[in-house]
């Protein structure tokens, strides 16, 4: 049974996306232009993302804090590149408590400035370092075109801000946190992602360099999935964050920041979902198993309870749909909401000593004999299989949409047919990046290798310095 509320993914991808967001009750538009309401089903995914990442951050020694929402204009202005990068897209508070303010306050688009200001007055000695802080919060960027989760004026994220006594340590941190995102995207979200370096043009405003994790959506459009920035001493000089080092000399701290956002909910949808609604990898699904008893007798329901308790006790999140809806309606609802596994316990099935188990990702239905059935083991293995299969399927799709270009004509031919990830060498000249952008807005996603390149620039034909992946982005 096709879901009539959802446009086919192959007919109109953009429409399909918003249809899935609405049908699965993940988010909706609000009276506030460009800002969404994240509904219970969507927020539960974010809570699960927070739980998994937060645990990992803490294992690595990070602690959570909360800096203010507002940034005084003077403070924002201290680092020139940052303000140039963000000024066009901030919102300003100019009135408070019925009075016009003496100084405008912007709503944080990111919090480097506030962290620097804090660090500046709290760091004295190398013994205070490193400071490994993170915060979960909302930020605001005045985007012109918005799309639920992928790009909205307000979004939720985590921003890690760390300071270190040495360049080596800060570089290590930048790399380590990128590895965390890579692990999170690949292992938890089942989204194959590529780690690389942003070009000068695409790096974070004010960073010395930016590492990025790039993912490819089902339609061949790329998504920046998480970034980790190395600032060196740029901000610490601008904000005067100094410490006394082991040689008893004053030195500016070495700094990093790194973040990922609610946009990854959009990424999950665009990589895995289908015309029947949401499909969630088991490791990020807030609810992993739905049990649907069918028939009036006591047996299906009591068995449902038995299974639910067994599964929950073993760390699998299972629930029973006991509502008065018809079984068909319940199936469709579990499907549109992306519950990875559905267990149907029907009276007739029980007469034949069997139950039906369906997996959401392939929509396959299996008759499972109750003889010697270890339900916990069966479901655990099935969830693991689904997780792996989803990753493999996403990787296959990505590989199919990964191309190689040797000149501008190649680039044009590829992009005119189908967006995707395009491997193409680059001389390092920003003018070439600009020229390539003329082809449907194609940008450098990341530089993937830094060893010597023995090839020509895909744009100008001169000797290439970098192996770059290009693509059209969200």
Which of 172, 140, 170 has the alpha carbon at shortest distance from 157? Answer: 140
Provide the minimum distance between the beta carbon of 273 and a copy of itself in the complex, in angstroms, as a whole number. 21
Pick one of 5, 14, 63, 84: the residue that binds a copy of itself (CB under 8 A). Answer: 63
Q: Does 31 bind a copy of itself (CB under 8 A)?
A: yes
The residue range among 136-144, 181-189, 333-341, 434-442 that interacts with a copy of itself, by the rule CB under 8 A, is 136-144
Within 152-211, the residues that bind a copy of itself by CB under 8 A are 153-154, 156
Distance from C-alpha of 178 to C-alpha of 369, rounded to nearest angstrom: 45
Provide the minimum distance between the beta carbon of 288 and a copy of itself in the complex, in angstroms, as a whole number. 17
Provide the minimum distance between the beta carbon of 55 and a copy of itself in the complex, in angstroms, as a whole number. 12
Provide the minimum distance between the beta carbon of 361 and a copy of itself in the complex, in angstroms, as a whole number. 25
Provide the minimum distance between the beta carbon of 196 and a copy of itself in the complex, in angstroms, as a whole number. 30
Closer to a copy of itself at the Cβ: 324 or 364? 324
Within 71-90, the residues that bind a copy of itself by CB under 8 A are 71-72, 75, 87-90
The residue range among 63-71, 223-231, 312-320, 397-405 that interacts with a copy of itself, by the rule CB under 8 A, is 63-71
The residue range among 131-139, 166-174, 408-416, 455-463 that interacts with a copy of itself, by the rule CB under 8 A, is 131-139
Name every residue whose Cβ is closer than 8 Å to that of residue 452 and which is 6 or more positions away in sequence: none
Pick one of 5, 8, 12, 30: the residue that binds a copy of itself (CB under 8 A). Answer: 30
For 318, phi then psi, to 5°, come to -120, 150
Which of 161, 160, 81 has the alpha carbon at shortest distance from 122? Answer: 161
Provide the minimum distance between the beta carbon of 262 and a copy of itself in the complex, in angstroms, as a whole number. 9
Q: Does 312 bind a copy of itself (CB under 8 A)?
A: no
Pick one of 81, 85, 142, 406: the residue that binds a copy of itself (CB under 8 A). Answer: 142
The token duo for 83 is 């303000």
Q: Does 47 bind a copy of itself (CB under 8 A)?
A: yes
Pick one of 8, 64, 353, 413: the residue that binds a copy of itself (CB under 8 A). Answer: 64
Within 87-106, the residues that bind a copy of itself by CB under 8 A are 87-98, 104-105
Which of 244, 270, 103 has the alpha carbon at shortest distance from 165? Answer: 244
* Angle, in degrees to the nearest 10, between helices 375-400 and 263-272: 90
Going 46 to 49 to 55 to 58, the CA torsion angle's sign is: negative
Cβ–Cβ < 8 Å for 163, 241: yes
Neighbours of 127 (CB within 10 A): 10
Provide the minimum distance between the beta carbon of 29 and a copy of itself in the complex, in angstroms, as a whole number. 9
Q: Does 322 bind a copy of itself (CB under 8 A)?
A: no
Provide the minimum distance between the beta carbon of 219 and a copy of itself in the complex, in angstroms, as a whole number. 27
What separation in angstroms does the CA of 146 have from each of 35, 36, 37, 153, 474? 8, 10, 13, 7, 10
Cβ–Cβ < 8 Å for 311, 380: no
Provide the minimum distance between the beta carbon of 113 and a copy of itself in the complex, in angstroms, as a whole number. 9
Three-state secondary-structure class, residue 107: strand
For 311, phi then psi, to 5°, come to -65, -50
Q: Does 52 bind a copy of itself (CB under 8 A)?
A: no
Closer to a copy of itself at the Cβ: 137 or 171? 137
DSSP lists the bridge partners of residue 228 as 211, 258
Which of 21, 2, 19, 14 has the alpha carbon at shortest distance from 266? Answer: 21
For 77, phi then psi, to 5°, come to -75, -10
Provide the minimum distance between the beta carbon of 178 and a copy of itself in the complex, in angstroms, as a whole number. 24
Closer to a copy of itself at the Cβ: 130 or 300? 130
For 291, phi then psi, to 5°, come to -110, 125
Q: Does 36 bind a copy of itself (CB under 8 A)?
A: yes
Going 201 to 133 to 90 to 87, the CA torsion angle's sign is: negative
Distance from C-alpha of 366 to C-alpha of 467, rounded to nearest angstrom: 46
Binding-residue total with a copy of itself (CB under 8 A): 54
Q: Does 49 bind a copy of itself (CB under 8 A)?
A: no
Provide the minimum distance between the beta carbon of 36 and a copy of itself in the complex, in angstroms, as a whole number. 7
Which of 120, 123, 113 has the alpha carbon at shortest distance from 90? Answer: 113
- Site residues (vs a copy of itself, CB under 8 A): 28, 30-32, 35-40, 43-44, 46-47, 63-72, 75, 87-98, 104-105, 107, 114, 117-118, 121-122, 133, 137-138, 140, 142, 144, 153-154, 156
């Amino acid at each position: 049974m096709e879901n009539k509320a959802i446009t086919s993914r192959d007919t109109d991808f953009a429409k399909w996306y918003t249809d899935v967001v609405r049908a699965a009750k993940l988010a909706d538009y609000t009276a506030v232009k460009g800002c969404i309401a994240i509904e219970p089903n969507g927020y539960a995914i974010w809570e699960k993302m927070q739980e998994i990442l937060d645990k990992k951050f803490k294992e690595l020694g990070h602690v959570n804090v909360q800096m203010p929402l507002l940034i005084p204009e003077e403070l924002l202005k201290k680092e020139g590149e940052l303000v140039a990068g963000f000024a066009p897209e901030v919102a300003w508070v100019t009135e408070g408590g019925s009075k016009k303010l003496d100084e405008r306050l912007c709503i944080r688009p990111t919090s480097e400035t506030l962290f620097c200001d804090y660090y500046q007055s709290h760091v004295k000695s190398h013994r205070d370092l490193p400071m490994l802080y993170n915060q979960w919060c909302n930020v605001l960027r005045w985007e012109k075109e918005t799309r639920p989760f992928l790009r909205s004026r307000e979004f939720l994220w985590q921003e890690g801000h760390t300071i270190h006594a040495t360049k080596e340590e800060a570089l290590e941190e930048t790399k380590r946190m990128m590895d965390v995102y890579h692990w999170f995207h690949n292992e938890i979200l089942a989204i194959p992602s590529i780690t690389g370096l942003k070009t000068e043009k695409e790096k974070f405003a004010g960073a010395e360099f930016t590492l990025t994790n790039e993912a490819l959506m089902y339609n061949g459009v790329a998504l920046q999935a998480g970034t980790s920035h190395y600032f060196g001493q740029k901000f610490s000089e601008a904000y005067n964050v100094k410490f006394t080092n082991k040689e008893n000399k004053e030195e500016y701290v070495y700094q990093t920041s790194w973040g990922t956002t609610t946009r990854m909910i959009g990424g999950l949808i665009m990589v895995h979902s289908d015309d029947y609604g949401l499909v969630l990898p088991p490791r990020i699904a807030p609810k992993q198993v739905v049990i649907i008893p069918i028939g009036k007798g006591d047996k299906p329901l009591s068995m449902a309870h038995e299974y639910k308790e067994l599964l929950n006790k073993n760390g699998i999140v299972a629930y029973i749909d006991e509502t008065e809806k018809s079984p068909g309606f319940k199936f469709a609802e579990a499907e549109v909401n992306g519950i990875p596994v559905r267990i149907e316990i029907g009276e007739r099935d029980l007469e034949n000593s069997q139950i039906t188990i369906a997996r959401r990702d392939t929509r396959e239905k299996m008759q499972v004999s109750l003889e010697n059935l270890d339900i916990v083991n069966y479901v655990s293995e099935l969830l693991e299989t689904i997780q792996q299969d989803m990753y493999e399927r996403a990787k296959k799709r990505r590989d199919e949409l990964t191309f190689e270009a040797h000149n501008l004509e190649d680039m044009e031919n590829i992009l005119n047919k189908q967006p995707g990830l395009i491997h193409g060498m680059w001389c390092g000249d920003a003018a070439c990046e600009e020229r390539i952008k003329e082809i449907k807005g194609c940008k450098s996603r990341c530089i993937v290798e830094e060893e010597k390149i023995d090839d020509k620039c895909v744009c100008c034909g001169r000797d290439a310095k970098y192996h770059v992946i290009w693509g059209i982005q969200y």
